[in-house]
Amino acid sequence: MRKSVFLVVLFLNLFFGFSQANLLNTTSSYNIETASRLEEDTESKPLDYAKVSDEDIMFSFTTWEVIDLNERVNFPYLYPIDVSTVTEDRKPLIYYLIEGIKNYEFPAYFSDTFKPDDEITEEGFDNIQKYKSLKKGVDADDNIEGKEHFAYAGSWRAHLEFLGYEFPEEEWVNYDPLSTEFAEMDDAKAKEVRKKWEAAAASVMPDTDFNSAEFEYSDVRKYIIKGVWYFDRISTELKYRPIAIGPVAVSAEDKYRQTNDEAGSDEEDVSISNSVEAPGEADKEYTPMFWVFYPEARTVLSKAYAFNRKNMSKPFSFDRLINSRRFSGTIYKEANVYQDRNIRDYISNDALMQLLESERIKEKIRNKEQDMWSY
């Protein structure tokens, strides 16, 4: 009997195994295959979630957790940050999220409520990854660049028309940034109009006229995951269902500002961006670059594999890691009557008490499950 079970397990391992053997059996460097890639006919699909009825949910709690990538247990979500040094199949989680959005596998949002108005456009998503600022120019050299083009042309419109930009019939076109009409505008409207002109300039002017900073995989610091804990009456157990996930990172804009501050630049800040207003420093720690509705991303993440330190020939999919909660997360917010306020909103400047409050919320959920068995 034991021998039969062993043979069955061995057969399954061979059938569902990864192509590590392809590397071991290759005799030519020209035929080296990816070391830990799934065979094409055994690519996994996300396991279907069980259908849940409202009548079967005895209780539920919505929580927001932060996954700190500085913690060793969370390293599989961060590395590799330099994909050029490893095999083609190894990529960090952020790579698959970005590629899924770019390939229209699933949309990205500015908030975890997923309202249609919050969906990030293709142009807006590109702006999140790259921050551009017109060079100030006017440095007494023979090289005309950035804003110098407008000064020589006499106006922004003259130079952009020369480059072939076709202006739309919209109000902002009537307020050239070098005109007296623009100078007399109030600050709020002037800022809005300038953004339109900056976007127009970015669409036709070469990159050499801009200073820029780009997002890199190493800029990701944390992940925020929103999920629902619920007690299923049918299965009589406490379950967890991830709802949304988003990366917290040093934005391209922040990288640009840090670089220019260190260089002591006095360059006027002119950003090319269609994103929402940047949050304050206190909120950035828990403000993702974008949000993804997790169920939509499961198909992509079920075919994206993280490194398995115990057995590199058997990597885990990111979908499996997240659904099985193989990460270290700290609750920083729960759904509550106070407009889902953050723990830091009522416990400030005390990291220990904030951590204890997070543990209290976890314990409350566990105790609720235990109460179900007391009847």
DSSP state string for 9-74? HHHHHHHH-BTHHHHHH--SGGG---TTPBPGGG---PPPPPP--GGGEEEEEEEEEEEETTSGGG
pLDDT tier, 6 (very low <50, low <70, confident <90, very high otherwise): very low
Taking residues 77-85, report their average pLDDT: 88
* pLDDT tens digits for range 62-76: 999 999 999 999 999
- The contacts of residue 185 (CB under 8 Å, 6+ apart) are 175, 193
Residue 363 pLDDT more than 70? yes
Which amino acid belongs to residue 86? V
Q: What does the pLDDT average to over 283-301?
A: 88
**161-203 pLDDT, tens digit each:** 898 899 888 888 889 999 888 888 888 888 888 888 888 888 8
pLDDT at 139: 59
Structure-model confidence comparison of residues 52 and 251, the more confident one: 52
Which long-range CB contacts under 8 A does 19-25 form with residues at least 24 apart?
A: 20/312, 20/313
CA angle 294/80/289 to nearest 5° reads: 40
Q: Does pLDDT of 20 surpass 90?
A: no
Angle (CA) 30 35 38, round 5°: 115
* Tokens (6 digits) for 157: 């419109």
Q: What is the CA radius of gyration of the chain?
A: 26
Q: What is the pLDDT of residue 59?
A: 87
pLDDT at 147 exceeding the cut of 90: no
Q: SS3 of 243, please?
A: strand
Is residue 269 over pLDDT 60?
no
pLDDT of 25 reads 63
pLDDT at 223 over 70: yes
Percent of the chain with pLDDT over 70: 79
| More confident call, 39 vs 353 | 353
Q: How confident is the model at residue 18 (pLDDT cuts 50, 70, 90)?
A: very low
Range with the largest mean pLDDT of 14-28, 240-254, 276-290: 240-254
Tokens of residue 176, six digits: 């050239």
**Of 28-32, 76-80, 139-143, 354-358, which range is least confident?**
28-32
Q: How far is residue 309's CA from residue 204's CA, in Å, rounded to a whole number?
A: 48
Q: Which of 6-15, 28-37, 99-108 has the highest mean pLDDT?
A: 99-108
Question: Residue 246 — very low, low, confident or very high, per pLDDT cuts 50/70/90?
Answer: very high
Taking the domains of the chain in order of start, what are their residue ranges? 57-128+215-372
Considering only residues 52 and 313, tell me which one the structure prediction assigns the higher pLDDT.
52
pLDDT of residue 261: 59
Confidence of residue 33 (pLDDT cuts 50, 70, 90): low
The number of residues in the chain equals 375
